[in-house]
Structure 1
Amino acid sequence: MDIEKLWEILYRERNTASLQELPERFCEDVKDYIARLETEKRKADETRKGFLEDEMRNARMKIEDIIRRRIGKIIKLASSGMDTPPKGMLDEEREIFQVVKSQVEEGRARIFAYIFGKPALIRNEPQKQEDKHTLTDTEHYNENDNDNEDNVNNNEHGNQYEYDIVRVLENIPTFMGTDGRIYKVGKEDVIMLPKTNAEILCNRGVAMRFEAGVYKKEGGERRR
């Protein structure tokens, strides 16, 4: 790593909207470069020492600018609803992405829950390190199904929400239901949704209602 390479990286970050792919050892290379300048400065004469101090100051400014611009892009990507971090992120940047994404989703859920007058249903229970794993789509959908069954039971005891069972006909972007929950559904999934959301999806032709062995869709029905 040297000042020219730092300038090239900064130039790309400044002039492109997307996140640029950094060398895998970017942080280590930059750290070694700064340490090398420090060592050389201690051995240099006064004239050379002045040049090295200028280079170190210039290098730090470029490094800070690179990181600041990249973090801004990462926050924008994480808050846009993107599920998977893009390629080219450093390990530390992937952690930032996941933290921001989680906080945005929880904050959005709380805001909607506040607006609709229902406490936010956010799970904050710590998870053991050995039990951590990424949910598959099937596990995610089953989790939503279990949550929705709880909601239906609550409805029988005076809960304000009504639910319909639907079969999803197309992949649908992640959305928030009128009950304040986040739903991630895919093609051919059968899932309970708030009645309002179910009606919207059926009217758009991307879902069918499911009742007593019959899939119902706006404009007609067919047997299972």
Structure 2
Amino acid sequence: MTADLLEKLRQMLLDMQHSGRLSHIEPGLYDDARAYIEKRKTDYYDLKNPLESRAGSLLIEEIGSVNETVQEIFSVRTRQILDLAFQQMEGQYFDKDEARKMLPEERAMYKRIISAIEECREALVHGEPTPFGGDGATAVERIDEADEADEADGTPETRETSATPAPRPIQSPYALVHIRSDVESFMGMDGRTYVLKMGDIVTLPENNAGVLCEHDIALNIRLNK
């Protein structure tokens, strides 16, 4: 992967946004981007005083910019795939050539979306027994009822002994931070377990990053796009 990766990714993103249509991308794009980021992290750690050097700052900016651009490419393509799924379900014009431009993982996601929409429509419009109208809906009701009970009770014991399945982790935006001291393992807002050491450069959910920065444990790396 050459040094112009970031420019290539940015141009690709601009083309996607301008065309508004799903475009062809190289199958190894995400793998190449991850490998490039890991390589630049290694370059950063190899510096004698990365926090005090201009080279270290440039590497941090490059890592953050590549990561953010790849995330945006994923977001744009996901929105385009959702549009294609909706068009197909509504019987609108569907460009098969555009569908062929999906990566294997995107195609699998597309099929699941179609299936989920169809099941939900069968449950709500036609009253057919599906996961949306059966156990799935019941489980959601149990979670809602348990949340209301916890708010009324407010006791830790009630929350700990409840048999209600835990809801999925709350998703949040991410922030790139530099860890200034060792941190005990913790569960992030994205449901992942983080074990951080001094000197690490990591992407954390913004809520978690904010807490660490408030306690001077981490430094938020704000990038200029």
Task: From the CA coordinates, give the structure whose radius of gyration is larger.
Answer: 1
**Alignment TM-score, normalising by the size of structure 2:** 0.48
